[in-house]
Amino acid sequence: MRFDVISLFPEMISDAASYGVTGRAIERGLVGLSVWNPRDYTLDKHRTVDDRPYGGGPGMVMKCQPLLDAVDGAKQHNVLVNRKVICLSPQGRLLSQELLLDASRYDQLILVSGRYEGIDERFIQHACDEEWSLGDYVISGGELAALIVIDAVTRLIPGVLGDDESAKQDSHFDGLLDCPHYTRPEHSDIGDVPDVLLGGNHADIKRWRMKQALGRTWSRRPDMLEKVTLSAEQDALLKEFRTEVV
């Protein structure tokens, strides 16, 4: 997988991506990352990337030409054909694990991170295949959104996570929230570790974890529960949980 990010703040992307899982994946050559600054593609002496909105109003709008040329730069640098150009914006499709899993099957993702009030709509229509959104809130630029895409997609690339880590990710894939986790000490002023986890009965532990995952999803994210079909055992575990909490 190659990520090419179009951004006026290239260090924001390369610095943040250099940590942890993403940093290691880049070092190991499992993913490539380049950042393309539209300012480097401007043609005037002031290196202008934005201009006033037609129709008036506050704020500035990113001009088409520097963005078009930056995207072309990213395309010409790589001969990969199986690629998508994605603009991050609140007008986009809501990100989900499913959308990101689909995206992980491409060879190249070109991520456009906008600043200011927005981007000239002609660029979005002409040069972008899709628009994606983090959610219904406003941030100051698309960089953090692009970084989230890079992080979440990188984790899905085979070989990036160790077996332990990727097995854990499966739990999120069944459409439920995670169960609670505990580590030492066994007893403390702020509470004790549930007995079942200390017992070493792996079947009981597995059932307890599934029950907690179901219970938390039911109480915190009923919308998620509506989208999954529970097995007979899961159904029974959730009923147990519900009779215990009321």
- CA 17 to CA 172: how far, in whole Å? 23
Number of residues binding to ligand 4GX, judged by CB under 6 A: 16
Which pair of tokens denotes residue 41? 């593609």
134 binds ligand 4GX (CB under 6 A): yes
Site string for ligand 4GX, 111-130 (x = CB under 6 A): ---x---xx-----------
Q: Which residue is nearest to ligand 4GX (CB)?
A: 114
Residues of this chain, 51-110, that bind ligand 4GX according to CB under 6 A? 87-90
Helix extents (H) in 3-106: 10-17, 20-27, 64-77, 97-103
CB of 110 to ligand 4GX, least distance (A): 14
Check if the beta carbon of residue 196 is closer than 8 Å to that of residue 204. Answer: yes
Q: Which is nearer to ligand 4GX, 142 or 215 (CB)?
A: 142
Min dist. Cβ of residue 127 to ligand 4GX (A):
12
Catalytic residues: 90, 117, 155, 170
Closest to ligand 4GX by CB, 144 vs 196, is 144
Binders of ligand 4GX among residues 155 to 174 (CB under 6 A) are: none
Please report, as a single letter, which amino acid is at residue 58: P
Question: Is 117 in a helix, a strand, or coil?
Answer: coil
Give 58's contacts (C-beta < 8 A, 6+ positions apart). Answer: 117
8 Å CB contact between 92 and 28: no
Residues 116, 62: contact at Cβ < 8 Å? yes
- Report the residue from 133, 166, 171, 234 that binds ligand 4GX according to the rule CB under 6 A: 133
Q: Does 10 bind ligand 4GX (CB under 6 A)?
A: no
Q: How far is the CB of 112 from ligand 4GX (least distance, A)?
A: 7
* Minimum distance of ligand 4GX from residue 135's CB (angstroms): 6
DSSP label at residue 7: -
Question: Rounded CA gap, 108 and 74, in Å?
Answer: 10
In order of 111, 155, 173, 177, 208, the CA distances from 143 in angstroms are 9, 18, 26, 27, 40
Q: Is 26 in the site for ligand 4GX (CB under 6 A)?
A: no
Residue 153 CB, shortest distance to ligand 4GX, in Å, is: 15
Binding residues vs ligand 4GX (CB under 6 A): 87-90, 114, 118-119, 133-135, 137-139, 141-142, 145
